[in-house]
Structure 1
């Protein structure tokens, strides 16, 4: 059996497997092919892959000769009768999934894995969100024209930066921890009361708004709220955002546009020089003016839209992502090194989007 590692688009610095992960597969007798230059942006050279037991080949050769293709982002080529594994956001691209089904591809999109305890070791969303939350605060600190911590000097005192984090998922909690380490005063809003204890344990203040819809089964994502709750939420966020120097937003709803949590009126209430880091930019953003992969100036407020901040730490991000991939491969490869698609396994079934000429994932079928 042969596994192929493809080079990602120019804007992506990560790679599906680093050489250390490749060695794990080759020791089991699995043939690994790597596209030329696949790991360069993650500081892994072709020679490193060769030393780990992989064969470095052209993109065409890797695609043609591999049974399983690893590519974080959707492939641009028209290919057929392969297994592909990555993070494809199928709920936002049902037409593409239909095309892949017709081409005979078996597609596993790891962002669709059931959010269960057993799936944690394969949870690419969490492993990458952790990095994104960390980088979001560092990016904010670099973009903000003032100190984060309190400074008391002979020339006078500097008050600490006030940071508001919207969403206390994996990215949000890491943002809290990082901002606190840098000495900022942190407030956190989340529709899930259950995260209050985690937020407070990290030294941040939790903003409570009563009446939120139950999000316990949403896999860590936001859920649609009632209009009454949205109004109370808006009023409470408006109070905090007017005092905030930096805002980090992370709220997304699977398969839908990201909710607008920061209105233009709220933006207008922020002081000049304030910074917003919008991690939901790829799905529209949590402000009405967010643009993905761009920085927007709005009345003195800098809004940075970036849903791929994890790419700013390509080596560690690739290491964690690769570990997720290796753990998932154990579910679909037998001990003898052969492909074994066990459809009785809820994780295999839950991550599979297309198979046998059809879109097989129920949620993607609905969105099609």
Structure 2
């Protein structure tokens, strides 16, 4: 079949749904690819690369008249007139908010597949355009914030003094939020993040950020993994957490969207409490904005000097990367629709992924799709449970604390008895030993991970001293002393050998060419 890739129909021509690499892979599926002149100019993809990939450059009418038309933006009235009956359109169509467009496509007999209506199931993740672009937008949000912020994200230690790292607060830990968290952490910022979904805390911590906790704002785990509208009490608790964090933050990145609508998370009162020069990047600007000062598509500076960025084209500001992701999604979709790789489209409406994306077919509007079945088997019956009193969450902590206190007291008593029964010369040795244990414990336990390798070298030196002392005691007249010296020398030797071996392997990781 002939696949047409026109220039973007919307106001932003930088993104392209079919890259030269995608065109080459589509040709491998048996399709003929035609592109409009200048289709890749915004992403710096010249026409000769498309030709080298096996595509053909044709005029606009020829491209829109193809069997399958792939574009990012929904078509306007002029483009609708160029679509031929029976054609297949692949685009972002916003089917929930544009019923008139769906009706027009159905009236022309066009089969429409909405890239922004992919079912949220594991098998469809490779087709999820929204997640791919959200990931780019989260990264770009940090870049924009770094451009506006009047300092470095990472802390600095110089001869002239030191500067603390920037403090970044991210609201929402979805795809965009986690991308922003990871980017800010990699730049050296001190990152704090909050999400109403309790399952997001582990993901935040895995990226090296600190989780902001507000127990009264946490929602139960949702069936689809997305946040739902908060109750009044939950919203109030969340706003209290936002107010506390924004007052300390240098950069705030908001990503909260509930079914496409942006709830208010940053009030004007919170903006007034932020330091002059602070930056707010509102990734929810396309949905109206999380910040009360957000103007979608614009940069706003408040009276207090806080910069609020409401850009709606963050993914398009990295056109090459975003277009590459879009092209991969299109290839994945057409691979699914061309199972025989013979250039023939097979629209299997029994497939829940295909059915979920199909919003118009055979002259009818097919939106909304039927619910996606999660499992064909009925869930197992829950076993009967005997009601038990709610456990006190602090009881176990108190029991552990009591055990530690009792054991510590017993240890002190035993040590006192040992000292009392020891000869005077041994008291001094026991005192030095006890102090060495205490000091060694606190020194080792408070060493940062970055110093483990040099610390290992120091412990190797200590083990070497122990080995020398043990060797000097071997052959003593007392068999007990000799036995202890042999064991000490053996253990110290193992420690020295193993320590140098591990140190060598760790240092080898930093040598050029090391795997």
If the TM-score is normalised by the length of the shorter chain, which range does it land in?
over 0.9
Do the aligned partners of 1:193 and 1:208 also contact (CA within 8 Å) in 2? no
Give the distance between the partners of 2:272 and 2:185, measured in 1 at CA.
26
Query: Which residue is 2:123 aligned to?
Result: 118
Question: What's the secondary structure of 2:308's corresponding residue?
Answer: strand
Mind listing any 5+ residue stretches in structure 1 that lack a counterpart?
none
**Would you tell me which structure has more helix in proportion to its own residues?**
2
Root-mean-square deviation over aligned CA pairs: 1.7
Match of 2:131, SS state, is helix
Cross-structure match for 1:208: 213
Q: Considering only CA atoms, is the larger Rg found in Structure 1 or Structure 2?
A: 2
1:1-25 CA distance string (max 9 Å, x none): 1110011134231111111111112
Who is 1:67 aligned against? Answer: 67
Residues in 2 aligned to 1:169 and 1:45: alpha-carbon distance in whole angstroms: 35
**2:262 pairs with 1:258:** yes
Distance 2:367 2:344 in 1: 24
Deviation at 1:62, TM superposition (A): 0.7
Matched pairs, number: 361
The match for 1:338 is 344
Segments of 4+ in structure 1 off by > 6 A? Answer: none
CA contact (8 A) 1:215 1:223 kept: no
Q: Distance in 1 between matches of 2:249 and 2:6?
A: 43
Report the equivalent of 1:136.
141
Return the offset for 1:92: 2.9
Q: Is the partner of 1:4 in helix, strand or coil?
A: strand
TM-score for both structures, normalised by structure 1: 0.93
Contact 2:110 2:360 in 1 (8 A): yes
Query: Which deviations, in whole Å up to 9, do the C-alpha atoms of 1:324-356 show, x marking residues without a partner?
Result: 111111222241221211000000011112222
**TM-score (norm: length of structure 2):** 0.67
Q: Which one of 191, 194, 203 corresponds to residue 196 of structure 2?
A: 191
Please give the alpha-carbon distance, in whole angstroms, between the structure 1 residues aligned to 2:302 and 2:98: 31
C-alpha deviation, 1:200, in angstroms: 0.7
Correspondence list, 1:1-368, <5 A: 1-8=1-8, 9-64=10-65, 66-76=66-76, 77-79=79-81, 80=83, 81=85, 82-211=87-216, 212-214=218-220, 216-218=222-224, 221-254=226-259, 256-299=260-303, 300-335=305-340, 336-362=342-368
**CA deviation map 1:250-306 (0-9, x unaligned):** 11122x421111111111111111111111111101112212221111221111112
CA distance in 1, matches of 2:336, 2:29: 15
Label 1:334 to 1:277 Cα distance change in 2 as closer, same or farther (>3 A): same
Give the superposition deviation at 1:363. 6.8
- Structure 2: distance between partners of 1:214 and 1:89: 28
Q: Give the 3 Å change call, closer, same or farther, for CA 12–282 of structure 1 in structure 2.
A: farther
- Structure 1 position 227, deviation (Å): 0.8
Identify which of structures 1 and 2 has the higher relative contact order when contacts are C-alpha pairs closer than 8 Å and 6+ apart.
Answer: 1
